[in-house]
């Protein structure tokens, strides 16, 4: 194995709309925002990940910050390739006499078209990957949670990421029925921006909306231990004068209500297609919530009440997909559901 690892470097990559996570030797080595800063004149990469996020919304005309992924798929091919290359460089800091060949497992949304899958594969190959494998996100999430995906019983996963919400029923190492809803963290963020504009006449950027979501984000208007109000500063839309507005979690719950309802109908849609035997398994075991969106306060309770099936937020939901991709990488030859 020692000699093999000299010549081959293995990486598991959760290429997310909001964050990209890389796992190497069973450890998370990179966990940074999926964003790059590029010099407009030369097209050169200036910064990647957290550094680029700090520049986002604060650049001048010579610097452009790009989020290469939208709705879980690559929207800017060149930027995606530069980002993957930049993230991989963060691991390979030491100088080597020769470059080891790179084997990568990348996870993709379950609703990806052939063209979208091809785009991810090409980006990974152009960034230096010799052996590129794909795994669907719900399958990776199930592995990361620690479920036995090859057992003859049904498990339901709802993975709320940045760009898509992946809803899938898994049994016998395959996805029985699934739905990819293009409503997730990014839509929640823009819902909050719209609400602030209409309700408080205040203009806020993406980062501020993200901060509101993290600090006072909620799916319910009644919480057992509510968070403190969050103060937002920004320009008044009418006068352009600075204003300060305290935001409550009830307001955020109200602004996100419509989007969460769409996720609920997506879950119900998948449950309708589920074969009765698997449906019985899901009702007895409950549904697993993964992804950053699972951290929204009261979401599990709201879904449990609405759908009458228990919903469980998994441990460390942000990294469940990445951990599962790492497990798939270690057992690359045993899993038939990995796509070459």
Tens digit of pLDDT at every position of the chain (340 positions): 444 455 678 899 998 888 999 998 888 999 999 999 999 889 888 999 999 998 888 888 899 999 999 888 888 888 999 998 888 888 875 545 456 778 899 998 888 889 988 988 998 898 888 889 999 999 999 999 999 999 999 999 999 999 899 999 999 989 999 999 999 999 999 999 999 999 999 999 988 999 999 999 999 999 999 999 999 999 999 999 999 999 999 999 999 999 999 999 999 999 999 999 999 999 999 999 999 999 999 999 999 999 999 999 999 999 999 999 999 999 888 887 777 6
The CATH number that domain 2-140+321-330 falls under is 3.30.420.40
Q: Do the domains at 2-140+321-330 and 185-255 have one common CATH topology?
A: no
Rounding to the nearest 10 degrees, give the CA dihedral for residues 217, 220, 223, 226: 20
CB 204 within 8 A of CB 234: yes
Q: CA 264 → CA 155, 187, 250, distances in Å?
A: 17, 15, 19
User: Whole-angstrom Cα distance, residue 332 to residue 305?
Assistant: 39
Topology given in CATH for the domain delimited by 154-182+258-317: Nucleotidyltransferase; domain 5 (3.30.420)
Parse the chain into domains and list their residue ranges. 2-140+321-330, 154-182+258-317, 185-255
In the chain, which ranges are E strands? 8-15, 19-24, 27-33, 36-39, 45-48, 63-66, 69-70, 73-74, 101-108, 129-136, 155-160, 165-171, 174-181, 230-235, 242-247, 287-290, 311-313
User: Whole-angstrom Cα distance, residue 195 to residue 299?
Assistant: 20
Topology given in CATH for the domain delimited by 185-255: Actin; Chain A, domain 4 (3.90.640)
3-class DSSP state for residue 225? coil
Q: Which two tokens stand for residue 4?
A: 């093999």
Instruction: Name the strand (E) or helix (H) holding 256.
Output: helix 249-273
């Amino acid at each position: 194995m020692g000699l093999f690892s000299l010549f081959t470097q293995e990486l598991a990559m959760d290429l997310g709309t909001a964050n990209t996570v890389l796992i190497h030797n069973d450890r998370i080595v990179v966990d940074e925002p999926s964003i790059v800063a590029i010099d407009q004149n030369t097209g050169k990469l200036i910064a990647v990940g957290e550094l680029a996020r700090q520049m986002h919304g604060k650049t001048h005309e010579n610097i452009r910050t790009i989020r290469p992924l939208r709705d879980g798929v690559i929207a800017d091919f060149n930027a995606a390739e530069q980002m993957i290359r930049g993230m991989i460089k963060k691991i390979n800091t030491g100088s080597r006499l020769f470059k080891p060949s790179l084997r990568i497992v990348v996870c993709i949304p379950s609703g990806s078209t052939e063209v979208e899958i091809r785009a991810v594969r090409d980006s990974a190959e152009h960034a230096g990957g010799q052996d590129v494998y794909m795994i669907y996100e719900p399958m990776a999430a199930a592995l990361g949670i620690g479920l036995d995906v090859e057992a003859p019983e049904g498990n339901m996963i709802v993975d709320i990421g940045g760009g898509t919400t992946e809803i899938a029923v898994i049994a016998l190492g395959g996805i029985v029925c699934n739905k990819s809803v293009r409503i997730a963290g990014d839509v929640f963020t823009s819902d909050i921006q719209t609400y602030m504009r209409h309700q408080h006449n205040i203009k806020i950027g993406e980062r501020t909306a993200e901060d509101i979501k993290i600090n006072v984000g909620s799916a319910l208007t009644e919480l057992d231990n509510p968070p403190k109000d969050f103060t937002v500063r920004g320009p008044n839309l009418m006068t352009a004068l600075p204003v300060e507005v305290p935001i409550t979690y009830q307001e955020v719950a109200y602004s996100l209500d419509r989007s969460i309802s769409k996720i609920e109908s997506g879950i119900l849609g998948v449950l309708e297609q589920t074969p009765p035997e698997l449906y019985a398994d899901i009702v007895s075991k409950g549904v697993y919530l993964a992804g950053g969106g699972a951290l929204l306060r009261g979401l599990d309770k709201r879904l449990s009440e609405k759908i009458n099936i228990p919903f469980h937020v998994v441990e460390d939901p942000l990294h469940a997909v990445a951990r599962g991709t790492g497990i798939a990488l270690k057992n690359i030859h045993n899993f038939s559901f990995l796509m070459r």
